[in-house]
Amino acid sequence: MAKPKVLVTRRWPAAVEAQLAEKFDVVLSNNDVALRPCEFREAFKDFDAVLPTVTDKIGPDALELTNPRTKLLANYGVGFTHIDLPRANSHGMVVTNTPDVLSECTADLAMTLMLMAARRAGEGEREIRAGRWTGWRPTHLVGTKVSGKTLGIVGFGRIGQEVARRAHHGFGMDIIVHNRSRVAPDILARFNAKQADDLDALLPQCDFVSLHCPGGAENRHLINARRLDLMRPGAFLINTARGEVINECDLVQALTFDTIGGAALDVFDGEPNIAQPLLDSDRLVMLPHLGSATAEAREDMGFRVMNNLEAFFNGETPPDRVN
């Protein structure tokens, strides 16, 4: 029987590409450039499965076609708000993602950002590299203590829980969570966490707020001027979720007028383009979407996609089906 024809849209870890090439009739990416909508439409006519990733926008224009050959979109990444699910459903396409395998590394990065923002690590590094450091002194780059403070976690799925584990058991932080559904008491008990009634109730209680909710239309600008005003004056906002969750203009205002202590972002609205006022803000730490960027997580994500592919082409329901 002919092997299923599979398209990978970007470069993947070498070990995963090698296994894909053994098991499938695979076309790998040579140039590592995101496909345009017209290229997706062509791909959907030719391939049994397309393996996109979080920077591939598969919106209405990419899915504007009849009778596609593609019946599986096996996404490399946990977030899938870049895929128009209703339209994929209308073509009978199954969509899968890669949960779990990146939770620990993304949580590690959220902690990195929290520490960097609170301890002014970005400012310090810039100072050394610019040759501006004049030596130790008691008032130099004084930051904010992290240990023992209160952390608000917005979205208490797998990544949010890994952040709670590190912050509570490693840094002795008190944990308050906001989640769209009630979190089971035994899960909260693992971190001695409380669930706030709503986001507005959580924000004024926290020294740090870390975002772990999905992106997309539902959570666009969840953090806006009104909610930034609800944060404590010295509090820090951390985002490793999706850029659109924060209204960046409102964040710039809050940083400019010192209504919060600072912020740290791994994700941006319209990335990789970064709004100039963000680049100009010294109170902001920024990383280029590195949440899952470890060799271990990136390989595991690829093998998780392979599990979904194999299940699908064996006639089973893929374990990470999202639609």
Q: Which is nearer to ligand DGY, 99 or 261 (CB)?
A: 99
* Cα three-residue angle 104-202-145, rounded to 5 degrees: 65
Q: How far is CA 259 from CA 75, 253, 278, in A?
A: 39, 8, 16
Residues 78, 251: Cα–Cα separation, whole Å? 26
With CB under 6 A as the contact rule, the residue among 6, 7, 16, 54 that binds ligand DGY is 54
Cis-peptide into 37, omega within 30 deg: no
Three-state DSSP state, 93: coil
Token couple for 317: 């329901």
Under the phi-then-psi rule, with left for phi > 0, alpha for psi from -120 to 50, and beta for the rest, what region is 142?
beta
Q: Does 49 bind ligand DGY (CB under 6 A)?
A: no
Q: Which is nearer to ligand DGY, 70 or 292 (CB)?
A: 292
- The conformation of residue 170, written as its DSSP 8-state character, comes to I
Q: Interface mask (CB under 6 A) for ligand DGY, residues 64-83, using x and -?
A: -------------xxx----
Q: Which is nearer to ligand DGY, 224 or 294 (CB)?
A: 294
Q: Does 102 bind ligand DGY (CB under 6 A)?
A: yes
Q: Interface mask (CB under 6 A) for ligand DGY, residues 262-301, using x and -?
A: -----------------------------xx---------
Q: Which is nearer to ligand DGY, 95 or 206 (CB)?
A: 95
Count of positions on this chain that bind ligand DGY (CB under 6 A): 7
Positive or negative torsion for Cα 24, 322, 38, 15? negative
- Least distance (Å) between residue 10 CB and ligand DGY: 12
Under 8 Å between Cβ of 221 and 246: yes
- Least distance (Å) between residue 269 CB and ligand DGY: 14
Q: Does 202 bind ligand DGY (CB under 6 A)?
A: no
Interface residue list for ligand DGY (CB under 6 A): 54, 77-79, 102, 291-292
